[in-house]
């Protein structure tokens, strides 16, 4: 058995205190997600798709707005947990908010934008205007 003095343990202890529930398990507050969600943007011939990773939220937690050619996705969530037992009372609360904005190209058909939320991912589909879609190769006759 090795007796090694750990001088670097203090940051880990503080991390444990702030990230762990005092009575076992992971803190419910930390499940809210206090960071700006990651985003993937994919382009196909017909559309753009914005996928925003936001597990633990519901579709009602999002606000999606379009102002001219700027798409704004935001969320504001507040949660409170209160647990009362014979020997103690525990009260935790959490607040999470984020805003992401995207300047849309003129090729997006803004009236047909669709959004869905499934398995922790918000997907916003931005269809392209007909004239912006890739046209098939064709031959042009010379006159």
Q: Where is pLDDT greater, at 70 or 8?
A: 70
Comparing CA positions, the residue from 19, 21, 26, 51 lying closest to residue 125 is: 51
Comparing CA positions, the residue from 59, 86, 85 lying closest to residue 73 is: 59
- Which residue has 């009575």 as its token pair? 23
Total-model pTM: 0.64
122, exposed or middle or buried, with CB in 10 Å at 0-12, 13-18, 19+? buried
Residue 40 has a pLDDT of 94
Average pLDDT score over residue span 13-17: 42
Residue 15 has a pLDDT of 42
pLDDT in tens, 72-107: 999 988 888 888 888 878 878 878 889 999 999 999
Comparing CA positions, the residue from 120, 101, 125 lying closest to residue 59 is: 120
Under CATH, which architecture does the 36-76+96-132 domain have?
Answer: Sandwich (2.60)
């Amino acid at each position: 058995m090795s007796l090694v003095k750990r001088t670097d343990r203090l940051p880990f202890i503080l991390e444990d205190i702030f990230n762990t529930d005092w009575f076992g398990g992971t803190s419910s507050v930390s499940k809210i997600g206090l960071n700006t969600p990651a985003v993937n943007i994919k382009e196909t011939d017909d559309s753009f798709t914005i996928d925003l990773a936001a597990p633990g939220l519901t579709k009602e937690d999002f606000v999606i707005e379009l102002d001219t050619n700027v798409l704004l996705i935001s969320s504001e969530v507040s949660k409170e947990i209160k647990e009362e037992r014979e020997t103690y009372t525990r009260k935790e609360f959490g607040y999470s908010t984020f805003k992401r904005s995207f300047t849309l190209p003129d090729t997006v058909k803004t009236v047909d934008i669709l959004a869905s939320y499934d398995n922790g991912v918000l997907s916003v589909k931005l269809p392209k205007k007909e004239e912006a879609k890739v046209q098939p190769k064709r031959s042009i006759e010379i006159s």
